Structures are given as structure tokens and as C-alpha cells.
Structure 1
Amino acid sequence: MSNPYKEIFAAPGAKGFSAAGFFARLPIAMAPIGIVAMLSQAHGEYWLAGAVSATYALTNALISPQISRAVDRVGQTAVVVPTTVVSVVAFIALIAATNQNWPVWTLFVSAFLAAAMPSIPALMRARWTELFRNRPELNTAFAFESAADELVYIAGASLSVGLAVALFPEAGMMVSTAFLALGTAAFIVQRGTEPKVRHVANAVSVGSAIRQRPVQIITLALIFVGSIFATAEVSAVAITKELGQPNAASLVIGVYAVGSFAVGLILGALNPRMALHRQLLIAVVAIALTSLPLLVAGSSVTLLAIAVFVSGIAISPTFITAFGLIERRVPESMLTEGVTWVMTGIGIGMALGAFVSGWVVDNYGSQNGFWASAAAGTIAVAIVALGQKSLAGDCDDGQACAALQPAG
């Protein structure tokens, strides 16, 4: 039996832009929790750390789809270069403001401007689509991207927290900013795989991708899935610190990725025949159920690590099915924007999760932070369950619906 992942990386340029894109998107995970780790250590207040992180993530959530819409219209290089420069400079200012104890307002302004960072995962999927449009290999490529996204979210967060705790508060953000600058530069210079700009006659009448009901449902659901990430990260940092083992936070957050990454790669290779909207419902149900053990796992680092490992297993399958649905329902000329809206949902969730869990930890203790995860998982299940009809293909926007069965 051939290896489907070996086949997609045999395409010219695939290895190069994939490797560069992996490092370029690490800041998506490193920056939000890196801001929390940096400011909570430098200022000693979780609410301030969560508020600045939320400012960055929420602003990025609002700006990123507009950046991606511009990318769909004029191309990746023309948009990504200037927005990345702005983001890198702003991150440097945020680090300096923290280190030099500048006024609090400078933290929020820097975080606001840093949000100009483009959505690398969306750019990656657009390049894979350019290589394998209307071919079965695209399913495998999207599965790989979803598994890689999940690994980036967890491994990136673990690296960011680990550097901040082991070295100095700003270490995680310094490395994150370096990845953004160097990784994006390496990605964008590979012009051979940059997607062509596709102009569609009815683009104006179609409008934004967020007007499509499936995009709305998936984006809203992933807001709450994203909040589970941030809640787990903030709570893990607080609990390990309370247990007298702050260095263990990096390990606890890191095990989040192990099971989920493996399950995601297996799912992409097997390509299950169940309809994608049903796969998504099963995945979010699993997320909700596996978040429950976290409520009683704060008595030791070992127990916490085990519970976090179990709670992460369904994350990658959720990503795979969510982006698979988006790829089948969004017009080709709007793919980057459609993917970005879903990434936006995750970013908003991480911002809200960081803020809410930080507030809960400050006011009710580190052991209660995971209640935000349990609540978010329940809400995500309700959203996907109520949206099954629309996700199955019952369009209300006048567009022809693509089949939602996995291709192959």
C-alpha cells in the first residue's frame, strides 16, 4: 500500500513551502500564550496578561479575514510582505514595553498592531489546492495540514511557555517573533507554488465567505474549541506553579499534541467514508467528554498530564473535518478567506479562553480553570448538532452545494 503523504510531498515545491510554512505559523500558537506567560511573570497579574493577549487575538480575528480576502484578489506576496513587517515590528515593541516597564497602554497598542499577522494556514491550504485541485491528493494534503495545525497549536504553546519559564519572561515571544519574520520570508520567496489570482465574474454578488451558512456554523463552533486550548494552557501554567513545579507546564501542555497528532495522521490516511458533517459532530462530542476529567486532575502533575493527553485526542480530527467541509463549500476564488474565517474562530476562542480562565484562576483558584473547558465543549456540541442540516448540504445562499462525502 502506497504512502499517501509521500505522494503529496513528491510534488514540486511541496516540501519547501510546507517546511517554511510550519515555522511561519508557529507564532499563531506561541504569541497568545506567550503574551500570557510573559506578562504574568513580569507583572504578576493574570487578568492583565489575558486582556493584552485577548486584544491581540481578537484584533487579528477581525483583520485576518480581510487580509486573506485581499490575498485572494491580488496575490500572496503583495499582501503578506507588508502585513508581516508591521506585525514583526509591533511584537518587538510589545517585548520592549514589557521588559522596560513602559505604560500599560503601550502593551495594548503593540498587541493591536501585531495583529496584522497574516493567516499562514490559509495560505498553505491555498498552495496545496493549487497543486492538487480536483484531485484525491488534496484530501490527504488537507488532512496533513489539519494535523500540522494541531501540532503547531500545542507544540508552539508548549515551546513558548517553556522558554518563558526556563529562561526569562520575554524568551518565548522573542523566539515567536523570529519564527514569524524568518519563516514567512522563506515561505513567500517560493513563488513557484504561489496560487494564481482567480477573478470570478459574480464575486461581488457572492460577497464575503462568512455570509455562507456552513462557514458561520463551523467558525462559531471552533470559537469554543479554541477556547478549550487557551483554558488548558492557562490552567496548566497556574496549576503547575501552585504545585511548585512551574517548569512542568511545558511538558503538560506538550502532551496535548501527541495523541491528537497521531489520530489526525491516521484519519487522513484512512479517509473514512462517513459524511464529514457527522464526523465533525462525533469529534466535538469527544472533545466535550474528554474535557471532563480535567475538572479533577489538579492534584498532581502526572494526573494533570494524563488528563490533558486524553482531552487532546479529538482536536486534530475536529480540524480535519472542519476544514474539509470548508474546502467543499467555499468557491475557489474565496478559499483563503473561507479558511481564514475558521482560523479566526479558533483565535477568538483562544483569546476568550485566556481571558475567562485567567479571571477564574485569579478569583477562584487554579483548580477551577478547567470549568471553562467543560462549558466550551458543551456549547460546541450544541452548535454542530443544531447545524447538521446546513453542514450536510442544505444551502440557503442559492449556491450549488458540493457533495460532503470524502473524495477518493
Structure 2
Amino acid sequence: MPNPYREIFARPGTKGFSAAAFVARLPLPMTTIGLVAMLSQTHGEYWLAGAVSATFALANAFISPQVSRWVDAKGQSAVLLPTTIVTFLALIGLAAAAWMRWPIWTLFAFALVAGLMPSMMALVRARWSEIYRDRPELHTAFAFESVIDELVYICGPVFGIGLSVALFPEAGVLASAAFLAVGTTLFVVQKSTEPKVDPQRMKGGGSVMRLRAMWFLVVLCAGMGVIFGTAEVSVVAFSEAMGNKGAASYILSAYAAGSFVVGIVFGAIKFKSSLARRLLFASLVAAVTTLPTPFVGSLWGLTAVIFLAGAAISPTFISAMTLIERIVPSSQVTEGITYAMTGMSIGFAAGSSLAGWTIDAHGASNGFWVAVAGGALALTTMLTGFGLLSRSEPQAVPDGVALNPAE
């Protein structure tokens, strides 16, 4: 029986850039949680730790699409080198400011500059798009990257917190800077798989957000982000309310495991339905699986429900990223995917904040209603934009059929 994942790595260079991208994308989750771990120890104030971490996350959410647009215009190597150097120095500056107790404003300043960190999740998908554009292998490649994203968001926080606690407060942030430097360098030196720059793109074709279809996809991703952000906060609060705060770790692991397992299976399936239809079904499942969460009364019950909810993550993002690859100009794929990631980040921040407020005011279980609202937003957005997204899929072909039979 053919293995679709083995097939996508048959092309020269694919193993190398995918491995390098794994290392280079660890710094994003490592930095957000590493800043909290570092500053809570050095300054003893969680409000400061959370505020600096949020400054970095929001700065990255708004700056990274512009960096990705620059990448599409100038090329990955030309942009990654300067932006990585600046980000690396900003992370070193954050560690130094915490260690030497520089003025508080310097922490926010360095966090803002560190937001220049490139969106490696988009950059690696752009390489897959260059290799397998208009081919069914792209679906499998995007599925693989979604699974790797899950691993990154499992390993990143573990490294960020673990190093900071086990060694010294600044260790997590410094390790994040090291991973960024090493991973990006290994990624950039692999020239054979780097997407070619379209000379016409250099003249400026406008942002991908000029396309109406992109707005629906970004809002959809924001809705999914609300679900993620709610889960992070509400699971911890529910576990604490049940007298076992440590249970939150295995419950959230079940969330990632559900996405991981289904993502592997989903990527191996050869679909005949359109991407828009697939995305509609996935958003429906995502919305439905949030409904039981406010009514769960035990930790094991929540684990089971969360596992099922996680199963909707990978299909939604695999379909959304593949659809973006087909509706935006080929020279702006990196920018398009980065905007989707930005939508998710904004949704995550909104979800975690709203869930925290709801929990403080109405109790742990009620925090999950924010996830229900996020699922409703994603599904409503998809229902509203389904017709436009279906029409905006000019290159859509049944999986298993290549547009270029000579390849």
C-alpha cells in the first residue's frame, strides 16, 4: 500500500527544509511562554510577564504579514537573514534586560522588536506549494505540516518553561534565540527548494486582503483561534476547580493528540469533494464539538470531549491553507498563509482574555461558552462565505488527479 507521506519526501531537498523549519518555528511558542516563565521569576509580577508576552505575540501577529509580503517580493533568503538577526538580538536584549533589571520600558521595547520574527509556518508551506502546486501531494504536505505544528506547540512550551525553571530564568528565551538562529540558517542555505520570485510581484500587486475570499478565511481562523485560546485557560481553571490542577497537562495533551491523529489520517485520504465543501464540514464539526464542553462534570469526561474537539483542528487548517494556496496569486502564498495565522493569533488572544474574564465572573465551566461562541463564529463565517469561496477556487481539482500529467 503506497504511503503518501513517503511520496511527498521523494523530491530532493524536502526532508532538509522541513527538518530545518521544525527547529526554526519552535521559537514562537517558546518565546511567548518563556517570557512569562522568565519575568515571573526575575520580577515576581505576573501582570508584567503577561503584558510583555502579549506585546510580543500581538506585535508578531501584525508585523509578520508585512514581513511575509516582503518575502514574496524579495525572496526568502533576502528577507530571512536581516529579520532573523534583528529578532535574535531583540531576544538577547530581553534576556539581558530581565537579568540586569533594566527599566521596565526596555522589556516592552525589545518584545516589540522581537515581533519581527518571520512566520516559519507560512514559509515552509510556501516551499511545499512551489514543489507541488496544483498536485494532490500538496494536500498531504499541508497535512504533514499541520501535524508538525501540533508537535511544535507541544514541545515549545515544554522547552520554554522547563529550561527556565531547571537552569536559570533567562534560559528559555536564550534557547529560543538559539533555535531561531540555527533553524533559520539551515533553512536559508537550502536554495534548491526556495520559491522563485515573480518579477511582476516586485512592482507591487497589492495585499492579498484585497480578495474578499481572504477575509472569510482569516475570520474563520480567528474563530478557531478563539476555541484554542479558551481551551488553554478554561481547562486549567476547570482542573483547579476539580482539585487537580496538574490534570490540565494531560487534558491539553489529549487536545493536541486528537488533532495529531486525525491530521495524519486526513492527509492520507484522497478526496473528491471541493476544498470549500471540506472546510464547511470541518467548521461544522469544530462548532458541534464545542457544545458539550460547558456541561462536562468530570476530568475524564472533559478529556474525552477535548480529544474529540481536537479532532476538528487539523482538517480545518489543512483545508483552509490549501484553499488559500489556490485562491491567492502564486507569488503571494506566503503572505496569504501568514494572514490566516494572524487571524488565529488574534482569535487566540481574544479567546483567552474573554475566557479568563468569564471564569472570574461566572466560574470555570462557563469559560467554555467562549469556545462555543468561537465555533459559532467559524461556522457562520463559512456558511456566509461558502458561495464565494467555492467560486474562488479556480485551480481546485479532485485529489488524486494532477493537472500536469507529464509530471
Give the TM-score range, shorter chain: 0.7 to 0.9
Q: Is the 8 A contact 1:53 1:354 kept in 2?
A: no
Task: State how far apart, in whole Å, the 2-side matches of 1:42 and 1:351 are.
Answer: 24
The residue aligned with 2:210 is: 211
The residue aligned with 2:395 is: 402
Report the alpha carbon displacement of residue 2 of structure 1 after superposing the two structures with TM.
1.2
Report the alpha carbon displacement of residue 244 of structure 1 after superposing the two structures with TM.
5.9
Q: Which amino acid aligns with 2:394?
A: C
Q: Is the 8 A contact 1:217 1:383 kept in 2?
A: yes
Task: State how far apart, in whole Å, the 2-side matches of 1:374 and 1:42 are.
Answer: 37
Q: Is the 8 A contact 1:158 1:249 kept in 2?
A: no
The two structures have a TM-score, normalised by structure 1, of 0.87
**Greater alpha carbon shift after TM alignment, 160-169 vs 73-82:** 160-169
Q: Is the partner of 2:197 in helix, strand or coil?
A: coil
CA deviation map 1:188-226 (0-9, x unaligned): 22222222212227964x411111112111011101212
Q: Is the partner of 2:256 in helix, strand or coil?
A: helix
**Greater alpha carbon shift after TM alignment, 321-330 vs 367-376:** 367-376
Q: Is the partner of 1:340 in helix, strand or coil?
A: helix
- Gap change, CA 1:359 and 1:284, over 3 Å in 2: same
The residue aligned with 1:311 is: 309
Counting only pairs closer than 5 Å after superposition, residues 141-180 of structure 1 correspond to structure 2 as 141-157=141-157, 160=160, 172-180=172-180
- Gap change, CA 1:179 and 1:405, over 3 Å in 2: same
Report the alpha carbon displacement of residue 161 of structure 1 after superposing the two structures with TM.
5.2
The residue aligned with 1:185 is: 185
Q: What 5-or-longer segments of structure 1 have no aligned partner?
A: none
Q: Is the 8 A contact 1:158 1:250 kept in 2?
A: no
CA deviation map 1:222-268 (0-9, x unaligned): 01212222222233344445666555443332222212112112111
The residue aligned with 1:9 is: 9
Q: Is the 8 A contact 1:283 1:318 kept in 2?
A: yes
Report the alpha carbon displacement of residue 57 of structure 1 after superposing the two structures with TM.
2.1
Q: Are 2:107 and 1:107 aligned?
A: yes
**Greater alpha carbon shift after TM alignment, 188-197 vs 230-239:** 230-239
Q: Which amino acid aligns with 1:176?
A: S
The residue aligned with 2:371 is: 373
CA deviation map 1:37-58 (0-9, x unaligned): 5556766766554443332222
Task: State how far apart, in whole Å, the 1-side matches of 2:91 and 2:10 are.
Answer: 36
Task: State how far apart, in whole Å, the 2-side matches of 1:277 and 1:104 are.
Answer: 47
Q: Are 2:269 and 1:270 aligned?
A: yes
Task: State how far apart, in whole Å, the 1-side matches of 2:45 and 2:291 are.
Answer: 27
Q: Is the 8 A contact 2:274 2:396 kept in 1?
A: no
The residue aligned with 1:386 is: 384
Identity %: 53
Aligned-residue Cα RMSD (Å) equals 3.0
The residue aligned with 2:404 is: none
Q: Is the 8 A contact 1:224 1:377 kept in 2?
A: yes
- Gap change, CA 1:161 and 1:387, over 3 Å in 2: farther
Task: State how far apart, in whole Å, the 2-side matches of 1:374 and 1:47 are.
Answer: 27
CA deviation map 1:322-376 (0-9, x unaligned): 0111111111111111111111111222222333334444555544433322221
Q: What 5-or-longer segments of structure 2 have no aligned partner?
A: 402-407
Count of residue pairs the alignment pairs up: 401
- Gap change, CA 1:359 and 1:62, over 3 Å in 2: same
Q: Is the 8 A contact 1:328 1:404 kept in 2?
A: no
The residue aligned with 1:286 is: 285
Q: Is the 8 A contact 1:54 1:354 kept in 2?
A: no
